[in-house]
A and B are shown apart, each in its own frame.
Chain A
Amino acid sequence: MENQNTLNSKKTTQDLLPKKFGKRGVIWTAMLILLCLIGAFAYYRQLRYGLVVTHMGDYVSWGIYISNFVFFVAISLVGSLVTAIFRLGNIHWSTPLTRIAEIIAVSAILFASFIIIVDMGRPERLVNLFIHGRIQSPIMWDVIVISTYLVISLLLLYLPLLPDLKILNEQKEKNMGWWNKVYLFLGGFWKGNARQERINQKAVLILSILIIPVAFCIHTVTSWLFATTYRPGWDSTNFGAYFVSGAFLVGAGAVVIAMYIFRKIYHLEQYITEVHFDQMGRVLVLLALLYLYFNMNEYLVPAFKMKKAEEAHLVTLFTGDFAPMFWFSLLAGLVIPAIIMLFKQGRKPLPMFILGIMVVVGAWFKRYLIVTPTLLHPFLPMHDSPDRFRHYFPSWEEWAIAIGSLAGVLLIITFFVRIFPIIPIQETIVEQNATPEK
């Protein structure tokens, strides 16, 4: 029995250790770097000529940078869902998914902060936030809560990684040259003794509890950037819950996509099983229904009253210029995936992968719909300002930066997978050893 376990552990370790990029991996990485470079060039142009390179104007003063920011913040919430809520709920099947969720959270939140700097007219004055910061401003709350969330997410990524770092440190010959030094620096102290185990477990438990309110804060505060104004479509008491529920949905969708890809490329069928997809499918249905509920609140209640200021906004969404996008994000990104996932066949890996993509794409457009149409419907009519300010379609620079930032998130995840085991090895071994006993 003991031998069997050791044998299993060895195989598991071999299966889950970081692997070199294959040909596809190299092409993928090169493509992401290229997209990032194009984005960087676009940002260079923006720094040089000012925000005039975007198609924003005095009315649509926030464009896809901000919707992209909201999207990133939303996706990052999944870290707290999978690692914290599931952990506290004593759900064991999610163990292989925790690190996937946590690295998505960390990379998304990093680029969320980056994109907000990109949106600033004077990024070099970022330091003013610390010199002249006003605690009354929701932006200040956002800065505080995002940096806090980043620290917590990093810790939640790091602490469970310690036992795996020991494994990596024990087989230096198989690792990439100088990364051994990094592994040693990060986890050299980890001997896996009882005292360390005890401290670590307690720390992870505290983090799991702490991250939940902070995660709620981060997205509620992000929603308040909008809800603290008077604008139709933003002036809503429903906004915090609406954003948080939507965030869990898109985050879970992103995890499903990542699960499928890692499973396929690294042949992890044994570790990320159909059961995982099935379970995630159930979770997604629940989250989709929750989000649908808040959507109803968000649109149906104002539409019932049709206050003058709200009317113009709602009509463009329901039947006007933004109707195709609105119905796409609502149906393809929410209703249809939820219905398909109700069936067992819909929760198989491939359909789940496709539905996950639909959810994430729908969610991205949903964020666009939250930001832009509202700004096109100010209280006073659009007047006495240049014609180009009365419409909004992002310029190539904005697309390049937005796509570049998405590529950046994927790049961080890609590199992470190359360097660290994406499925927690130690935890998997422990669970494996525990399961056959039953």
Chain B
Amino acid sequence: MQKKDTSRRDFLLSGLLTGAGLAAGCSGKTAFTPGNAEQVIPSGEKVKLLSIDGEVVEVDKAFLKPVPDIPYPLSNGEERVGMPGKKFVMVIDLSRCKNLKKCQSACNHMHHVHPGQNWLKIYAMQDAEHTAPYWQPTTCMHCDEPPCVKVCPVDATFKRQDGIVLIDSDRCVGCRFCMAACPYSTRVFNWEKPALPEEIAGRDYSCETSVPQKKGTVGKCDFCPDMVRKGELPHCVTACPNGVFFFGDINEDVVTNGAETFRFSDLVRDKAGYRLMEDLGTKPSVYYLPPVNRNFKFEEGLKTEEQKTNA
């Protein structure tokens, strides 16, 4: 996984170097332009470096940073539009889940979700009396016909160009209509002042990081657009040791869990992917692969539940 990150930054760097008109021959612009990385502003400070062939190349210092500075904080307007040309999807492979809840704890930790509440829930599902039980993680479905967005009176929850449904906690009036409207019970409310470390509470709020959460407003899974802008995967995806979560851009038709990368269409076709509550017409962006040929027995996941109740 570590290596993966490295390579990604290399691409980024190469893109920037070539984009700055320095490298000869090779591609002019890489296909990979995460978020606003291309907007890196040259510092004007040049350094002379050596190329592999020993020639001297003059490069602007701004391009040498491992991850170029995204001009954060993005304006609220930019956060509401999203990343152009992208449309994010998630694929959750139920055959790999054994309810370890690593995804959940990573999500809670990174988003400072109020103790006891969860944006990411893992259900023990059993569809009918004689069918087999399985573990089903649910995130926000980032529906293409989002019932929550339909009912919001103030545009506080909105759908972006890249398919992500976000909440603007600076605008939310706390009417909780979206919570009633969401059939996936994915939304949580900040009933009291969020318990945040001072350093977090003092940060400027961003819809993309969903941090810091605010009293009297609604919160939910945000697909970690701040990570994606950096070219990194959402926290739940990287936290899962079993590679349950795949994430990617449906426009590229590629999803990855960090270790494995598949064509989205192949994966969903070959493993008979489906979406939750298709009959409601919400058109979720999260696909599920059925719990067949499982890596774990259902019972293994019960340990986590026991630990939780004991704790």
Asked if the two chains touch in their complex, CB atoms less than 8 Å apart, one says yes
Task: Please report B residues at the A interface, Cβ cutoff 8 Å.
Answer: 104, 116-118, 121-124, 138, 147, 150-156, 171-177, 179-181, 183-185, 187-193, 215-218, 277, 280
**Complex interface: chain A residues within 8 A of B124 (CB):** 383
**Complex interface: chain B residues within 8 A of A139 (CB):** 151, 153, 175, 177
Interface of B is mostly: loop
22 cross-chain CB contacts under 8 A: A49-B192, A51-B189, A51-B191, A58-B179, A58-B185, A61-B179, A61-B189, A62-B176, A120-B216, A121-B218, A122-B174, A123-B173, A125-B172, A129-B173, A137-B150, A137-B151, A139-B175, A139-B177, A231-B183, A379-B277, A384-B121, A386-B117
Size band of the A side of the interface?
Answer: 35 or more
Beyond A125-B171, A230-B183, whether A385 also contacts B188 by CB under 8 A is: yes
Taking the closest CB of chain B, its distance from the CB of A5, in whole angstroms, is 56
A229 touches B192 (CB 8 A): no
Q: A122 is contacted by which of B155, B172, B183 (Cβ under 8 Å)?
A: B172
A133 touches B185 (CB 8 A): no
Contact with B along A368-408 (1 / 0, CB 8 A): 00000001001111111110000000000000000000000
Task: Please report A residues at the B interface, Cβ cutoff 8 Å.
Answer: 49-52, 54, 56-59, 61-62, 119-123, 125-126, 128-129, 131-134, 136-140, 143, 225-226, 228-231, 375, 378-386
- In the assembled complex, the Cα of A385 lies from the Cα of B121 at a distance in Å of 8
- In the assembled complex, the Cα of A225 lies from the Cα of B153 at a distance in Å of 11
**Complex interface: chain A residues within 8 A of B191 (CB):** 50-52, 54, 56-57
Q: B192 is contacted by which of A52, A59, A230, A231 (Cβ under 8 Å)?
A: A52
Taking the closest CB of chain B, its distance from the CB of A44, in whole angstroms, is 15
B123 touches A58 (CB 8 A): no
Q: Which of A125, A140, A226, A384 has the largest count of B CB atoms less than 10 A from its CB?
A: A384
B185 touches A59 (CB 8 A): yes
A125 touches B173 (CB 8 A): yes
- In the assembled complex, the Cα of A231 lies from the Cα of B155 at a distance in Å of 22
A140 touches B153 (CB 8 A): yes
- In the assembled complex, the Cα of A49 lies from the Cα of B193 at a distance in Å of 7
Taking the closest CB of chain B, its distance from the CB of A70, in whole angstroms, is 13
- In the assembled complex, the Cα of A134 lies from the Cα of B124 at a distance in Å of 38
Beyond A52-B191, A58-B189, whether A132 also contacts B155 by CB under 8 A is: yes
A-B pairs, top 6 by smallest CB distance, nearest first, are A121-B174, A121-B216, A52-B192, A384-B121, A386-B116, A139-B153
Q: Which of B151, B154, B215 has the largest count of A CB atoms less than 10 A from its CB?
A: B154
Taking the closest CB of chain B, its distance from the CB of A334, in whole angstroms, is 26
**Complex interface: chain B residues within 8 A of A381 (CB):** 123
Beyond A121-B217, A231-B180, A380-B185, whether A134 also contacts B117 by CB under 8 A is: no
Q: Contacts A61-B189, A381-B123 known; list 18 others, CB within 8 Å.
A: A51-B189, A51-B192, A54-B191, A58-B185, A121-B173, A121-B215, A122-B217, A128-B154, A128-B173, A137-B153, A137-B177, A143-B153, A229-B183, A230-B147, A379-B277, A383-B124, A384-B118, A385-B117
**Complex interface: chain A residues within 8 A of B187 (CB):** 58
Taking the closest CB of chain B, its distance from the CB of A253, in whole angstroms, is 28
**Complex interface: chain B residues within 8 A of A61 (CB):** 176, 179-180, 189
Which partner residue on chain A sits nearest B177 by CB separation? A139
**Complex interface: chain B residues within 8 A of A120 (CB):** 173-175, 216
Which partner residue on chain B sits nearest A128 by CB separation? B154
**Complex interface: chain A residues within 8 A of B116 (CB):** 385-386
Taking the closest CB of chain B, its distance from the CB of A340, in whole angstroms, is 37
A228 touches B154 (CB 8 A): no
B280 touches A385 (CB 8 A): no
A137 touches B152 (CB 8 A): yes
- In the assembled complex, the Cα of A58 lies from the Cα of B177 at a distance in Å of 12
- In the assembled complex, the Cα of A230 lies from the Cα of B147 at a distance in Å of 9
Which partner residue on chain B sits nearest A49 by CB separation? B192
- In the assembled complex, the Cα of A228 lies from the Cα of B181 at a distance in Å of 8
Taking the closest CB of chain B, its distance from the CB of A236, in whole angstroms, is 14
A50 touches B193 (CB 8 A): yes
**Complex interface: chain A residues within 8 A of B151 (CB):** 136-139, 228-229
Taking the closest CB of chain B, its distance from the CB of A130, in whole angstroms, is 9
**Complex interface: chain A residues within 8 A of B216 (CB):** 50-51, 120-122
- In the assembled complex, the Cα of A67 lies from the Cα of B187 at a distance in Å of 21
Q: Which of B151, B153, B185, B188 has the largest count of A CB atoms less than 10 A from its CB?
A: B153
A58 touches B183 (CB 8 A): no
**Complex interface: chain A residues within 8 A of B104 (CB):** 384
Taking the closest CB of chain A, its distance from the CB of B22, in whole angstroms, is 45
**Complex interface: chain B residues within 8 A of A121 (CB):** 172-176, 189-190, 215-218
